[in-house]
Amino acid sequence: MTTRALEAARNGAAAAPAAGLARLKRRAGRWALRGLAGLVFFFIFIPVIFVLWISLFQQQIVSFPPEGYTLRWYENAFARSEFRHGFGLSLQVAFIAMVIGVTSGAAGAYAIVRFRFPGREAFNNLLLGPLVVPGIVAGTSLYVYYIMVENLLDVDFRGTLHGLVLGHILLTIPWTVRLVSASLVGLDRAVEEAAMNLGAGPWTTFRRITLPMMRPGLVAASLFSFIQSFENLELTLLLVGPGRTTLPVAMLNYLEFRIDPTIAAVASVQIVLIGALMLITDRFVKLSRIV
Amino acid sequence: MATATAIGARPGGQRAEGFSLGPFLLVPASLLVVAFLAAPLLVLFRYSFNRYSPREFMVDAFTLENYARFFTDAYFIGVLATTVQVAAVCTLVSLLFAYPLAYLMARTESRWKSALVIAVVFPLMVGNVVRAAGWMAVLGNEGIVNHLMLSIGLISRPVRLMYTPFAVYVGIIAVVLPYMILTLQSVIEGIGREVEEAAANLGAGPMTTFRRVLLPLSLPGVIAGGTLVFILCMNAYATPVLLGGPQFKMMAPALYDQFTRTTNWPFGAALAFILMTSTLLLTIVGTTVLSRRMHHRKLEAAPR
């Protein structure tokens, strides 16, 4: 503060008032920039804030100001089977898709980063491919494909757990390949060589050195894979069946008719779950360094 | 554990001679993507040349009539035009809004920086449906915006904000802003602070520094963020359905309707490929125009 005042005084003494005006202008500009940035920040948070807020409203029809606050809509949300089952199914699908997607994706990323072979770049593009295809297109193509396969093989795919999981693995593979590749590229190979020189076998080196060094990438990949699957709507829309609906699809069906504190309570549960997952993961891996 | 042995056996990884099992680690993931993305897309592509018949549902054929129908039907041309318009406007607006925040986040030395980054990622992670629900509470007739405007006497009866194009714009911009912010931030971080200081020392004001130094240098980020956001906007589904209502049609909901309401698979399949092709073409055009401009700037600047 004092140095700034000193500097200002020195400059003020030396230069004409015009310089002071320019300085004032610059300072105003800086505050305008900060103000705008703050507004943008607030803007992206508006929907989250309002969902959390109205889930606590006393009255059933959303209007402002609230007549009071209550937690009963959470009870009400839990009592509705489509949300309870949807939540359970989404957890199940996201967990299984995460395990399969992260395992196979990490193995693929390892091969791409560590080995040189023809078609390496093409494989990399193939595994990142699901990011490029719009969710709704991937979903409809899986829908017609499942019907075709069902007719050929007499096995159910639509509205089944395995049908959903196989689709959702597509969401998890590209994230895993990206995050694990990034963590592998930054890995110092000298440490592995040192372990080998000290007599560690290849498998020991992999298990004791390489795998622990890959951990941040694997943890981040698991988090993002789980979330991508859990909140997915577009790819899932046509793959769910009667009585087997994921949470986002159940929410969409409800929201097409009304917005009320019950659906806000469901959405709040999802917000809290995802927030908690991100915070817990951040304790192990610095998320800000990954995204 | 045979594969694991193979992994460790080549710590150098560069050995060209001999046969290595390493690349076989790609097999599971590649098979999954081929079987559940590539193959379904091929089937859908094939279906787009079939013929639709209300009685027999889908007839095997090899016709271009589905594509021809799209380009001769004013309704669907309108849907595509709306989609492109929404995507273009949302991309531009989010670019304008994201830049200041991205700049401050890139330049701050605050210890809250990582918290700020996570805070930007968070809304992106909670999902589009949840965020659409939030906007419904904000923009509805009984929503907070109408409530505030009524209580300060700006309006005498609620203004319709929900189920309007405006609501869709607001919703989509909020969805894509985090992507734009994060892309721009990482690129601006890569631009040395000393470049800006040099410009300032040479007498450039903040606006000139931005226009002549920062913006041209961050153009790769603008292109990358713009492309990503444009693609996301073109494919938006949940936001237009929930905030735009049934009257407001964009490509993704229109495509979905063909499979659920009208069950015209061949035409729906054609819509899918028209959506993907037009997105790809528009992104290529946008990227080349912008990078050519960047190139021109460089040539102009060189002799000076």
A with B: how many residue pairs have Cβ under 8 Å apart?
306
Confidence (pLDDT) at A99: 97
Contact state of A64 with B16 under an 8 Å Cβ cutoff:
no
Predicted confidence (pLDDT) at residue A291 exceeds the cutoff of 80: no
Predicted confidence (pLDDT) at residue B90 exceeds the cutoff of 90: yes
Interval B233-249 mean pLDDT: 92
Predicted confidence (pLDDT) at residue A35 exceeds the cutoff of 60: yes
Contact state of A248 with B129 under an 8 Å Cβ cutoff:
yes
ipTM of the complex: 0.85
Interval B135-158 mean pLDDT: 89
Predicted confidence (pLDDT) at residue B169 exceeds the cutoff of 60: yes
Confidence (pLDDT) at B170: 95
Could you read off the pLDDT of B11-40 as tens digits, one per residue? 444 444 445 778 889 999 999 999 999 999
Which chain A residues in 224-253 lie under 8 Å from chain B, judged by CB atoms? 227, 230-231, 233-234, 237-238, 248, 251-252
Interval B225-254 mean pLDDT: 92
Confidence (pLDDT) at B232: 93
Confidence (pLDDT) at B11: 44
pLDDT tier, A210 (very low <50, low <70, confident <90, very high otherwise): confident
Q: Within an 8 Å CB–CB cutoff, is residue A33 touching chain B?
A: yes
pTM score of the predicted model: 0.87
Confidence (pLDDT) at B302: 53
| pLDDT higher at A233 or A7 | A233
Q: Which residues in chain A touch residue B47, judged by CB atoms under 8 angstroms apart?
A: 144
Please, what is the average pLDDT of chain A? 87
Contact state of A170 with B177 under an 8 Å Cβ cutoff:
no
Q: Which residues in chain A touch residue B94, judged by CB atoms under 8 angstroms apart?
A: none
Peptide bond into A65 cis (omega under 30): yes
pLDDT tier, B265 (very low <50, low <70, confident <90, very high otherwise): very high
Contact state of B100 with A173 under an 8 Å Cβ cutoff:
no
Confidence (pLDDT) at B267: 95
Interval A85-94 mean pLDDT: 94
For each of the domains in chain B, give its residue range(s) and CATH number, in order of start: 44-292 (1.10.3720.10)
Confidence (pLDDT) at B8: 40
Interval B154-177 mean pLDDT: 92
Does residue A266 contact residue A252 with C-beta atoms inside 8 Å? no
Could you read off the pLDDT of A179-192 as tens digits, one per residue? 899 888 877 788 88
Q: Which residues contact B124 (CB under 8 A, 6 or more apart)?
A: B175, B178, B179
Kindly state the tokens that stand for B117: 């980054």
Confidence (pLDDT) at B76: 95
Other beta carbons within 10 Å of B94: 27
- % of residues, chain A, pLDDT over 90: 50
Contact state of B20 with A192 under an 8 Å Cβ cutoff:
no
Q: Within an 8 Å CB–CB cutoff, is residue B244 touching chain A?
A: no
What three-state secondary structure class fits A61? coil
Confidence (pLDDT) at B1: 34
Interval B96-121 mean pLDDT: 89
Q: Which residues in chain A touch residue B143, judged by CB atoms under 8 angstroms apart?
A: 62, 64
pLDDT tier, B158 (very low <50, low <70, confident <90, very high otherwise): confident
Interval B99-113 mean pLDDT: 88
Most confident of A57-66, A149-158, B52-61, B230-239: B230-239
Residue type, B249: K
| pLDDT higher at B210 or A142 | A142
Count of residues for chain A?
Answer: 291
| pLDDT higher at B190 or A11 | B190
List the single best residue of A141, A209, A268, A279 to mutate versus B (max B Cβ within 10 A).
Answer: A141
Nearest CA in chain B to A173: B29
Q: Within an 8 Å CB–CB cutoff, is residue A95 touching chain B?
A: no
Interval A98-121 mean pLDDT: 92
Confidence (pLDDT) at B172: 96
Contact state of B16 with A116 under an 8 Å Cβ cutoff:
yes
Could you read off the pLDDT of B66-86 as tens digits, one per residue? 999 999 999 999 999 999 999
Does residue B268 contact residue A140 with C-beta atoms inside 8 Å? yes
A74 Cα to chain B: minimum distance (Å): 15
Could you read off the pLDDT of A232-272 as tens digits, one per residue? 999 999 999 887 899 999 999 999 888 889 999 999 999 99
Interval B238-256 mean pLDDT: 92
Please, what is the average pLDDT of chain B? 87
List the single best residue of A44, A192, A203, A258 to mutate versus B (max B Cβ within 10 A).
Answer: A44
Confidence (pLDDT) at B186: 87
The long-range contacts involving B75-82, CB below 8 angstroms and separated by at least 24 positions, are: B76/B254, B76/B271, B79/B249, B79/B250, B79/B251, B79/B254, B80/B251, B80/B274, B80/B278, B82/B248, B82/B249, B82/B250
Interval B262-269 mean pLDDT: 92
Does residue A263 contact residue A251 with C-beta atoms inside 8 Å? yes
